[in-house]
Amino acid sequence: MDDIRPATPQRSQRFVHQIQQDLRDKGYAFQTEKTYLHWIKRYIIFHNKRHPAQMGADDINVFLSHLGSQRNCSPATQRIALNALIYLYRKFLKVDLEPLAFEKARQRRRLPVVLSHGEVNGILTCLDGKYHLMVSLLYGAGLRQSELLNLRIKDIDFELNTLTVRSGKGDKDRTTLLPTTLLVPLQRQIAEVQKLHTRDIEDGFGEVYLPNALAQKNPRAAFELGWQFLFPSTRIGACPRTGVMRRHHLHHTALRKHVMKARLKAGITKPVKCHTFRHSFATRLLQKVYDLRTMQKLLGHNDVKTTEIYTHVLGQRANSSEQ
């Protein structure tokens, strides 16, 4: 259950715990919390464990320049580290920083790996059961791995053929396509989850993790079928926040292992990750002449420039086929 926030020690004097609690009080997403803490720790270790209050803009410049020139990190990674340190000083320590002047990481345009429709089908033929359905959703609905794993039964609308992504990247909800070919497999999967949930209740369990606000307003919702994860874990474990024994969603490593095995079995030499199917979904939309704004909405991109990269991918593939 590594996507559930663990409890923090009350009134802890440790610097890290105080930052962690402040991030939660300000409503930052758990992934942002983990990312910011990671970069703040790296910053402190880089400067021989000096306290951030004893450092300032010059020390930030040295650290960020090191990331860009010595560690060869991408501009996006350097920007994330910068955001973490800006939060640390301006929002947590309440320190006004001098203008920063660090060496920017060099921009390198990397086009995403994309699979053809035939290559995706080749991988799917090497999968069965729930893993076949999971990869079909990654490709057919353009989901991120975390979005897929966090799907609840209530998020599927069989009448409208839509799928609702809750608290996706940027903590935003969105609606995306649900291929009609997946309706029957989804109904079978829900029936399996219902059997498992009934058995859990009989065994004295059956409570699923809920977002904090809902858990306080309607705790009984945790036992409802609609709130159960579409792809539940095979085991029941203790919640890191409360200690309650629950069945969480399937762990991402299980899906990754099956995708890797299927790729090798299908004889595909391209490096394939779960996110590759999302890239392939976007390229498929372009081939079907979807406009960029519609694609941006379906993919949940904040900036249409992120969506535009797939036009370069399609152009590259067209050029290679001509040669």
Provide the CB-side half-sphere exposure for 269 (13 A, CA). 0
Of these residues, 197, 246, 278, 279, which one is catalytic? 278
Residue 235 known to be catalytic: no
Could you identify the residue written with the tokens 């079978």?
188
Of these residues, 28, 43, 131, 310, which one is catalytic? 310
Residue 38 known to be catalytic: no
User: How far, in Å, CA of 29 to CA of 172, rounded?
Assistant: 11
Of these residues, 169, 174, 251, 261, which one is catalytic? 169
Q: How far is CA 313 from the centre of its chain?
A: 23
Of these residues, 24, 41, 42, 275, which one is catalytic? 275
Residue 166 known to be catalytic: no
Most distant CA pair in the chain: distance in Å?
66
Residue 310 known to be catalytic: yes
154: tokens are 């209530």
The answer to whether 144 touches 275, Cβ cutoff 8 Å, is yes
Residue 169 known to be catalytic: yes
Of these residues, 197, 249, 258, 301, which one is catalytic? 301
Residue 144 known to be catalytic: yes
Of these residues, 130, 144, 248, 279, which one is catalytic? 144
Q: Which of 294, 322, 321, 132 is nearest to 310 (CA)?
A: 294
User: How far, in Å, CA of 250 to CA of 244, rounded?
Assistant: 17
Please list the active-site residues. 144, 169, 275, 278, 301, 310
